[in-house]
Structure 1
Amino acid sequence: MTKQTIPKMIVWGFLMIISQWLTGILMQGLIENDVGLVSLGLIGLIGMIGWLAYGCRAWLNLTFTRKNWLWGVGALISLIVTSLIWVLIMQLVTGLAMTTNQQQLNQNLIWTGWRQAVMVLQVVLIAPVLEELLFRGLFQAWFLKQQEIWQLVISSLLFAWLHTGSGGSGGAWVLYFSAGLILGYCYQQTKDLKVNIAVHGLYNWISLII
């Protein structure tokens, strides 16, 4: 642990809190059909993404390499297969075919018009970009760079906690922890956030339509 580790942990934690606060504002606005709250949440989230993207610009590789995108395809297939396996296990064990987070998303998709469009934008673009910038871009650049296994484990635990909270089922924890491992390992191999963002966004989009 270096002298900069604790300040970086504080900054990273603060950014996580801000991202969740802004997401909460956006979702509350959608629930209440409040254009003002939705606009505030969107402006805050897009501004945060722009600021983080500028800070992480060194990892947003603008070149397209076949190797990196093959890693991305492999990661996407792994995410889909892992999700199907764990959803099947959850259904057999608990009788539930989806996580609480997925159930909430499906309920929100009954919205129509502009609210549905904003919800899809949040799930397919805003959330994947923000999460990849925070979990892969900053976390994996700042912490445990010489201990990649622990880097994967800890970042994946935090990723699972973000999506399930303290009340998530064991199956949901394993599902999101596995997703964190796959996305984290993909980034370790490519060092290209662009690939991770594309994979994460496509995975969320597929989760919405199936």
Structure 2
Amino acid sequence: MTIINANHSGWATTRHIIYFCLLILAEQLPLTGLSLASSLVGTQITTVLGSLFLLISILMTILFWQVYRKAVVDNHFEFERRLHKRDWLLIGGGLIAMWVINAGTLPFVKTSGNSNVDSLTSLLTSFTFFMLFFVAFIGPILEEILFRGLFLNWFFTKHRLVSILLSAVLFGTFHVDLTSGHVDPIYWLSKVLLGLVLALVYSRTKNLKASILLHILNNTLAAFI
């Protein structure tokens, strides 16, 4: 019986790793597709490309959401629980912590040579409305499902601190282009710290609504202020 349970656990972990890697690749598709399409046809059909981009992103979010709901079915459908006063206090504290991180690291981040930032800036210039909507709302939901809702419920569930730290490191690494060979360590560290705050808030509230809302607030402030 022990051998059977161990084999079952090992297969479940392997399956989760495969699913997680596939979802990370899928999450990149809308932005990659928009970037390629805009470079091929220019911005003459900005509205068409932007609308298609948002449609695909929304469909992707729905798909991710279904995977997440199945992943937390044993957690009494955590997302359906209301946020309480303590949760709102944690969100407020998390937002302050994220502001401190941004304020403390931004002056030291390289203003050029960051391919991820350069690419996003270019897309924001060409597809302002569509990209702002994605960055402020859709992106945070997708990333919270991936790096908090799924990662923390799939991996190292008996070692919560390890899961939180790895989630933060993976989140930070996800936001840099490792293939460029010019990774800004301060930018990477800032994203790791932001991911750590989000993971801690989710872990403390046990409600993905909290980290999603915190992520949306952070991105909205960064995009519009």
Tell me whether the two structures share a fold, i.e. TM-score over 0.5: yes
Structure 2 contact 112–118 (Cα < 8 Å) conserved: no
Cα offset, 1:202, TM superposition: 1.1
Cα offset, 1:194, TM superposition: 1.0
Match of 2:55 in 1: 43
Letter in 2 for 1:45: S
1:12 correspondence with 2:31:
no
The higher radius of gyration belongs to 2
Structure 1 contact 87–98 (Cα < 8 Å) conserved: no
Structure 2 contact 94–201 (Cα < 8 Å) conserved: yes
Cα offset, 1:152, TM superposition: 1.5
Residues 183-208 of structure 1: per-residue CA shift (max 9 Å, x gap): 01111001111111111111111112
Pairing partner for 1:65 from 77, 81, 84? 84
SS of 1:42's partner is: helix
SS of 1:60's partner is: helix
Cα offset, 1:176, TM superposition: 0.5
Match of 2:139 in 1: 127
Pairing partner for 1:84 from 85, 103, 126? 103
Letter in 2 for 1:61: E
Residues 51-76 of structure 1: per-residue CA shift (max 9 Å, x gap): 22233342323413111111111111
**How many angstroms apart in 2 are the aligned matches of 1:191 and 1:100?**
35
1:24 correspondence with 2:32:
yes
Report how many aligned residue pairs link the two structures. Answer: 203
Change (3 A) 1:74 1:100: farther
Change (3 A) 1:97 1:190: farther
1:152-163 matches, within 5 Å, as 152-163=164-175
Say what the alpha-carbon RMSD is for the aligned residues: 2.4
For structure 1, the residue ranges without an aligned partner over 5 or more in a row are none
Cα offset, 1:107, TM superposition: 4.6
Match of 2:94 in 1: 75
Change (3 A) 1:208 1:97: farther
- The percentage of counterpart residues that share the same residue type is 27
Residues 144-165 of structure 1: per-residue CA shift (max 9 Å, x gap): 1111121122111111111112
Structure 1 contact 109–116 (Cα < 8 Å) conserved: yes
Structure 2 contact 171–191 (Cα < 8 Å) conserved: yes
For structure 2, the residue ranges without an aligned partner over 5 or more in a row are 1-5, 70-76
Letter in 2 for 1:144: F
**How many angstroms apart in 2 are the aligned matches of 1:13 and 1:85?**
32
What TM-score, normalized to structure 2?
0.80
Cα offset, 1:130, TM superposition: 0.4
Structure 1 contact 27–38 (Cα < 8 Å) conserved: no
Match of 2:218 in 1: 203
Match of 1:145 in 2: 157
SS of 1:56's partner is: helix
**How many angstroms apart in 2 are the aligned matches of 1:107 and 1:23?**
12
Change (3 A) 1:184 1:47: same
